[in-house]
A = this chain, B = another copy of it.
């Protein structure tokens, strides 16, 4: 951090109060490796949180299954298991944090990887568009560019989430399946979904 840094520049070097290096360690522990997508995801979550009204409770939508859900789970209260994070796989590298409160109209902030801005960072561009034959090629330079770019490769939109995607699913009454003898939501039918022909196992 240079002494000449403007406040904005200083802020961009941190990920919700963590240094890039600290965040990289958190990612390694949780995700198993310092995956570029989770690292960029840190800057995405940071940018989104900074653009939400202060003090609100928010839910998260992640538009991809790859990597980004872990950045959200590491840095926000939203997890796969507490239902504050919904992964709706549209194949876009984007996330939305939005006000839980129905009265707010579920207004929120969507952050995405801006393909135009990414062009200025050749290693990030090559990784994102899978242009490199080997995963390991340019790895050190890729991480350096991710750290240096920070939020410079991101775009931000103000959005309102459609009501059907904000609904909390409740399981309703719980029954015991007459076939497998396990508990299941009675609304699923006479037997559980597995015993309705969806067995996962041989």
Q: Which residues of A contact B (CB under 8 A)?
A: 30-32, 35, 37-38, 61, 63, 65-71, 73, 77, 79-85, 87-94, 96, 110, 112-113, 115-116, 128-130, 159-162, 165, 169, 171, 173-174, 176-177, 180-185, 188, 192-194, 198-202
Contact = CB atoms under 8 A, between A and B. Distances in A.
Q: Among A32, A128, A200, which residue has the most Cβ atoms of chain B within 10 A?
A: A200
A110 B201 contact: yes
A85 B82 CA distance: 16
Contact of A171 (B61, B66, B113): B66
A160 B130 contact: no
A92 B174 contact: no
Stoichiometry (number of copies): 2
Contact of A200 (B80, B88, B115, B185): B88
Nearest to A35: B82
Nearest to A155: B182
A192 B91 contact: yes
B80 A87 contact: yes
B194 A32 contact: no
A189 B112 CA distance: 20
Contact of A73 (B73, B171, B185): B73
Given A91-B193, A176-B115, A183-B93, A79 B171 contact: no
Nearest to A183: B115
A130 B80 contact: no
A57 B10 CA distance: 41
